[in-house]
Chains A and B, each alone.
Chain A
Amino acid sequence: MNKVFDVKGLDLYYGQKQALKQIEFSIYEKKVTALIGPSGCGKSTFLRTLNRMNDLIDNCVIQGEIHYNHQQIYDKQTDVIGLRIKVGMVFQKPNPFPMSIYDNIVYGPRCQGIKNKAELDEIVKTSLEQAALWEEVKDRLRESALSLSGGQQQRLCIARALAMKPEVLLMDEPTSALDPIATSKIEDLILQLKQNYTIVIVTHNMQQAARISDYTAFFLLGEMVEYEETERLFSHPRDQRTEDYITGRFG
């Protein structure tokens, strides 16, 4: 199996506090990898190292190596914008821009200098179709994205990320702000998307991880305790702490 990300000895500090300790990790192509663990265990922080969103935090120091397609992304020469184009991200809270649905989708492509109207129209259609939103919004592309429901907004955010034609999608608890119906729609969507994209998803919801992921990593206090195929991790956890967590003894 092809490794998309290869993480070696990753340490991350917020000032004096160490948030990630010696993470060793591989993410496989066209699989869904779930990161689970209690709050504050570093799973979101880890996710954000993959497209260098932690750069935005002032006192964040990163040591170790992350290879994306055999390239070290914490090199000085790394083209961060190029990386973020290839590694898209969906956030916890749906965060469409206060613009029309259309403008939301084409924001990324426009930033890359695509101006051709037909090309942009095509991007809007395909990405909305991929995000299973096209049928619901095709007649109101010019309306504000904020007029959509929470679940629709989140799918719009996914479509917006897909518009960049990424290889990897990072999702940071994409359903935690949504109701069960919207959540199941997003989960279906993730299962569809995995045919074409590598997906890394942070989730609080162990059932969700079990339902949609191929691999699951369990984080605790900045360490990656266990990383396994999802089925094996949930049925035969090797580590006592993993077992305690998935059986609901803490967290």
Chain B
Amino acid sequence: MLNSRRKKDLILQSITYMASFISLFVLISILLFVFLNGFKLLNMDLITHNFESTSYIADLKDFTGPGVFNTNKDFDDHTYYSTKWGIALSDSENLMGHTIVLVTYVHEDSPFNDLRNKGVATQDLMLDVDYEIVRIAFDDGPSALSIQGAQNMIQVLDTKTTFRELEYSTSGGGIRGSIITTLYLIGLTLLIALPVGVGAALYLNEYAPKNKFTKALRNLIETLTGVPSIIYGLMGLALFVPITISLTKATGANLISGALTLSVILMPVIIRTTEESLKVVPDDYRHASLALGGNKTQTTFKIVLPSAFSGILTATLLAIGRIIGESAALVFAVGTAIKDHVSIYDKSTSLSVHIWAMMTDEPANIELSTTIAIIILVIVLSMNLSIKLISKRLLRKYGVTHE
């Protein structure tokens, strides 16, 4: 008897241990995957650089022939210098993790300082450090391509006396625009969703009569929490995009419609969380305020709302997490065009949609995606911490809360 009960206990206990172990294991492996994959590409340039790169096709201007350009600069083993052309190239990876040939040094008298745009605009160009060389084409013989490496490119150059054209591009692939878009979205969405959500929660908890209609309303709001976000995205496309187009100078999907869509997604969450925190504000406070001659509005806004502050904060944190993480709804409401110059009237991508765009690339760019994932994690974490810190300071001012 005793033995069988002990066995039962043991089985149940081990199930709970197993369950918690599995969830911990999954969490850690996701984090490990993200960090191991994404860490390589993580650097400040990725965050501060533009996504778009400009390509130029140029040829030599007033060219008199190669010379001898000696330099006393020290180059490492992976950098190749051509004394004939006065240019140093190295193998590198761009921000997106693609192999490129990077210009690491240009001699001040090098012919590469004197280039002419071969395109429609015939302005003067010059090669600069950190540009990527895509190919160099010659009249006699095959072109030197970036996929063949820097060493090959220098060797080919050294055998030639001139070239027909040079294709190079400024470095791109940064996610600065997407970070700005994400921050815009957070700001705009909170600006819309917080007042409306908190207001609705105040109405439901403080003013609404306790009847069937209120109950139905509350149930409806709860149901809205479970609606898939892609449906909200469709609604944003069908409803908010036309509205914003007619009211603002926007011409297509834009950040405002995205923020509106996100607000609708977040409203139920904010209402629920705020209402829960309003419920735990002791009636003692309300009674004390009314007994002191405060009216309903003063009681609600001066006493109840500040007491529910920590709950509203939790709602804000949940909201920020959701805004940063949302992608399906935004694909429709804000679009998928990665932009460097973010305008709230224009299409743009948040970091999550940026990941989506990278993964739909051919081939899928897993490394960059995981790097962006790290950045998203860092943003969420730092926002969480800073808001908690602010709230702690505010709460310290008022002493302990009722929790």
Contacts and interface: CB of A to CB of B under 8 A. Distances in A.
B164 interface: no
A84 B307 contact: no
Interface string B263-300: 00000000000000000001011111111111100100
Interface stretch (A68-76, A105-113, A185-193, A200-208): A105-113
A: contact size bracket: 20 to 34
Given A107-B302, A111-B302, A157-B288, A98 B399 contact: yes
B302 to A, nearest CB: 7
Most buried by A among B285, B288, B295, B306: B288
A97 B281 CA distance: 11
Given A98-B399, A145-B399, A93 B284 contact: yes
Interface string A126-168: 0000000000000000011111000000000100110010000
A99 B293 CA distance: 18
Contacts of A88: 291-292
B284 A95 contact: yes
A104 B239 CA distance: 47
A111 B284 contact: no
Contacts of B400: 98, 144, 146
Q: Which of A89, A111, A146, A157: most chain B CB closer than 10 A?
A: A111
Contacts of A144: 397-400
Given A111-B302, A144-B398, A84 B292 contact: yes
Interface stretch (A4-12, A37-45, A51-59, A226-234): A51-59
Given A98-B402, A99-B398, A147-B399, A164 B285 contact: no
A97 B288 contact: yes
Nearest to B297: A111
B347 to A, nearest CB: 46
A146 B290 contact: no
Contacts of B306: 98-99
A56 B291 CA distance: 11
B303 interface: yes
B290 A84 contact: yes
Interface of A: 51, 53, 56, 58, 81-82, 84-85, 88-89, 91, 93, 95-100, 107-108, 111-112, 143-147, 157, 160-161, 164
Closest 3 CB pairs of A and B: A144-B399, A95-B284, A108-B292
9 contacts: A81-B295, A85-B292, A91-B284, A91-B291, A93-B284, A97-B289, A107-B289, A143-B399, A157-B288
